[in-house]
Amino acid sequence: MIRSVAVIALDRVAVFELGVLTEVFGTDRTEDGFPGYRFTVCTADGGPVRTASGFGLTPQADLAPVDEADLVAVPAYTRGGEIPEAVLAALRRAADRGAYVFSVCSAAFVLGAAGLLDGRECTTHWKYADELQRRHPSARVRCNSLYVADGTVLTSAGTAAGIDACLHLVRQEHGSGTATRLARRMVVPPHRDGGQSQYVEAPIPATPDAPTLEPVLSWLVGHLDRPTTVDELAARAGMSPRTFARRFRAETGTTPHDWLTNQRVLLARRLLEETHLSVESVADHSGFPDAAALRHHFARRVGTTPQGYRTTFRDRVPAAG
């Protein structure tokens, strides 16, 4: 369970990415029923550092809290200088004792320099993915992922993908209900499907014959318990099935089937946490044809059985506040 968080701010730290970590783990919302964390911003020597925006940042501590933290995070920074060896050593120690080690955007290069990406799947901002792979050939860089969790080592893509990765950690530690409530508080989606291909600089032009699919997606989320076909969705969007499938991938980065299955699994997680419905009823309410189909897709996406998930998370979800 994550109870303490240490953030390592390097010279020319990116303010937004630091802010993401602060918003999720450093803002006290315990009065509203959210988990609380001991949150510390650290620097290599305990002294101030510059931000990428030009103003200075005074930390709370040197690297000492890193050795006790359950989560050690490194926000993005403007690369160019040497990474202090003390920082790399502290990250190695954290990984060795089983703490979560998490990089946002360009900070994946810091984890790479510490040797923590060797043999692991990872990601970074799509602009830097090829360079990260060249510098660390034994890493398996997934350039289209918003974030990657390989054991206790997490890496996220650029900027807002850090929010996705933070919510993933909250979901893993405290359950889908808590992550969804926190996302609602932050006014962000609790889970984004698709990958970075949605954001690479090759935009699909907005044309009259390819309007946004947001109304169809909103309808789908509200009717997850219904059997749905691509032909039906295409008709609802006023497109041919072929055009709809192409447009769907352009807007979401994935296929209609995969997107819908992910949404159904998310609903099933919430029902398992918040209700006493049987697994068969959860399957029915979340749109799976039977419990066997739910178990299959749940295991592929969550890594456990529905009953195992319920046992783990039912007692972790705080009362709504």
Decide: 174 and 316 in contact? Cβ < 8 Å: yes
Q: What is the mean pLDDT of residues 281-285?
A: 95
Residue 42 main-chain phi, psi, to 5 deg: -120, 155
Section 240-256 average pLDDT: 87
Q: Can you give the pLDDT at residue 318?
A: 45
DSSP code string of 282-302:
HHHHTT-SSHHHHHHHHHHHH
pLDDT of residue 303: 80
The pLDDT of residue 320 is: 38
Categorize the per-residue pLDDT at 209 as very low, low, confident or very high, splitting at 50, 70 and 90.
very low
Residue 35, amino acid? P
Tokens 């550092």, residue located: 49
In 174-218, DSSP assigns E strands to none
- Tens-place pLDDT, residues 213-228: 878 888 888 899 998 9
pLDDT of residue 207: 35
Percent pLDDT > 90 in the chain is 67
In contact, 94 and 69? CB cutoff 8 Å: yes
Dist CA 145 CA 155 (whole Å): 10
Helix, strand, or coil (residue 12): coil
So what's the pLDDT on residue 314? Answer: 63
- Per-residue pLDDT at 252: 79
pLDDT in tens, 129-184: 999 999 999 999 988 788 999 999 999 998 889 999 999 999 989 988 899 899 98
pLDDT higher than 80, residue 196: no
pLDDT at 191 over 80: no
pLDDT at 67 (0 to 100):
97
Neighbours of 34 (CB within 10 A): 18
Phi/psi of residue 279, nearest 5 degrees: -60, -35
d(CA 1, CA 174) in angstroms, rounded, equals 8
Q: What is the set of domains in the chain, with CATH numbers?
A: 4-186 (3.40.50.880), 213-314 (1.10.10.60)
DSSP letters spanning 55-112: -EE--SB-SGGGGT-SEEEE--B---SPPPHHHHHHHHHHHHTT-EEEEEGGGHHHHH
pLDDT score at 195: 58
Residue 197: band (very low, low, confident or very high) from pLDDT cuts 50, 70, 90:
very low
Mean pLDDT on 63-83: 96
Q: What SS3 class is residue 121? A: strand
**Rounded (10°) angle between helices 176-186 and 161-174:** 140
With a cut of 50, say whether residue 210 has pLDDT above it. no
- Amino acid 264: pLDDT: 92
Average pLDDT, the chain: 89
Q: 220-239: b or e for each residue (b if 16 or more CB lie within 10 Å)?
A: beeebeeebebeebbeebeb
More confident site: 199 or 20: 20
Residues sharing a CB contact under 8 Å with residue 110, sequence separation 6 or more, in sequence order: 10, 74, 77, 83, 87, 88, 91, 103
Report pLDDT for 194.
53
Q: Look at 94-103, 157-166, 251-260 and tell me which has the smallest mean pLDDT.
A: 251-260
Q: Give the pLDDT confidence of 285-307 residue by residue, as tens digits.
A: 999 999 999 999 998 888 889 99
